[in-house]
Amino acid sequence: MKREWHEVTVARRVAWSADLISVVFDADIGPFRAGQFIDVALEPGGAGTSRSYSLASAPEQPPELFVSLVAGGELTPRLFSAPVGASVWLRWPAAGVFTLERLPDARHLWLLATGTGLAPYLSMLRTEQPWQRFERIVVAHGVRSAQGLAYRDELSAHAARHPGRLSVVPVVSRDPGAAGVLHGRITTAWDSGELEARAGLAMRVEDAQVMLCGNPRMVDEMRLRLEAAGYSRNSPRSPGQFTYEAYW
Ligand SMILES: Cc1cc2nc3c(=O)[nH]c(=O)nc-3n(C[C@H](O)[C@H](O)[C@H](O)COP(=O)(O)OP(=O)(O)OC[C@H]3O[C@@H](n4cnc5c(N)ncnc54)[C@H](O)[C@@H]3O)c2cc1C
Ligand SMILES: NC(=O)c1ccc[n+]([C@@H]2O[C@H](COP(=O)([O-])OP(=O)(O)OC[C@H]3O[C@@H](n4cnc5c(N)ncnc54)[C@H](OP(=O)(O)O)[C@@H]3O)[C@@H](O)[C@H]2O)c1
């Protein structure tokens, strides 16, 4: 089906902090796979600036996006100002290959995100697929301050529903007072072994599928580490152990 622009309205808006929101739209965007993205524009018919956003919602749910404010950015300051009831243009069907369908089977699924890179994992965890395919799942969420740790209750609820199968590892880089988290970056927590210790699971090339999403520098730095440890990138012709999506 051709990807086309549709006018929709903002149905709900959650402000996690001054620069972090979730937005739900009153729209039926048709079938998609968890991990895919849609495009957003604020001008009629999708004219002008448009940007891509991962769906945090599961297929069948109203589309939900998790968005951070980029100061001076072209789209996000205006999206942040759009109140409930405002018109927004979305382009669907959703697109993208950052999906579980593209991953070979493995025992353990490692979902590493910075910032709003958590969005595709929220969508995946809201479906049955990861729970049916993987014995254990680890979500590591790297943010600047504890305020950025959105969706913690939802992640805890998944963990409670699947006892012993989901480990959530919050990693906070600029908030020394944050309690109950690892301090630093996902990369440094991986280097020190703290990430695995906190997850209660060893990451081993023979057991793991690893997804990386968010800040392109995190993606690059984790990619280099994984390659040095013997992991290779998944592609349709050559199955490997990691897959990534960089947001900018
Ligand atoms: C497949 C895909 C999925 C995406 N999903 C999401 C999502 O779920 N949530 C989300 O918030 N963003 C997501 N993004 C990023 C999003 O498309 C925009 O790039 C972002 O919202 C900034 O848009 P802007 O027009 O406000 O800023 P721009 O005017 O495009 O940005 C100005 C500059 O800011 C930098 N920049 C862009 N994005 C960020 C960022 N998030 N943090 C820091 N610096 C940045 C870049 O260097 C850019 O040149 C995704 C991108 C892609 C490619
Ligand atoms: N979240 C906020 O508190 C805040 C406040 C004001 C403005 N903003 C704006 O919002 C946008 C997104 O900010 P964000 O904080 O969500 O995303 P971000 O800048 O990508 O930071 C998210 C996490 O990724 C980490 N990170 C950065 N580079 C990394 C690397 N090479 N390897 C591993 N981890 C790395 C950051 O650590 P470091 O902290 O060490 O970089 C931080 O813990 C930006 O435009 C930002 O200016 C955010």
As a whole-number percent, the residues of the chain with pLDDT over 70 amount to: 100
How large is the average pLDDT for residues 198-227? Answer: 98
| Domains of the chain, each with CATH number or no CATH | 4-95 (2.40.30.10), 100-246 (3.40.50.80)
Is pTM beyond 0.85? Reply is: yes
Cβ neighbours of 155 (radius 10 Å): 21
pLDDT in tens, 66-91: 999 999 999 999 999 999 999 999 99
Q: Does ligand 1 have an atom closer than 6 angstroms to the CB of 244?
A: no
As a whole-number percent, the residues of the chain with pLDDT over 90 amount to: 99
- Residue 1: the pLDDT is 84
Nearest to 16 by CA among 91, 115, 142, 87: 115
Q: Does ligand 1 have an atom closer than 6 angstroms to the CB of 173?
A: no
What values do phi and psi take at 241, rounded to 5? -125, -5
- Residue 109: the pLDDT is 98
How large is the average pLDDT for residues 101-122? Answer: 98
Q: Does ligand 1 have an atom closer than 6 angstroms to the CB of 143?
A: no
Nearest CA to ligand 2 atom 45: 70
State which of 53, 118, 215, 226 you would mutate to test the pocket of ligand 2, scoring each by most atoms of that ligand within 8 A of its C-beta. Answer: 215
Q: Does ligand 2 have an atom closer than 6 angstroms to the CB of 142?
A: yes
From CA 79, how far away is CA 87, in angstroms rounded?
10
pLDDT in tens, 232-244: 999 989 999 999 9
- Residue 61: the pLDDT is 97
Nearest CA to ligand 1 atom 24: 73
Quick one: three-class SS letters along the chain? CCCEEEEEEEEEEEEEECCEEEEEEECCCCCCCCCCEEEEECCHHHCCCEEEEECCCCCCCCCEEEEECCCCCCCHHHHHCCCCCCEEEEEEEEECCCCHHHCCCCCEEEEEEEHHHHHHHHHHHCCCHHHHHCCEEEEEEEECCHHHCCCHHHHHHHHHHCCCCEEEEEEECCCCCCCCCEECCHHHHHHHCHHHHHHCCCCCCCCEEEEEEECHHHHHHHHHHHHHCCCCECCCCCCCCEEEEECC
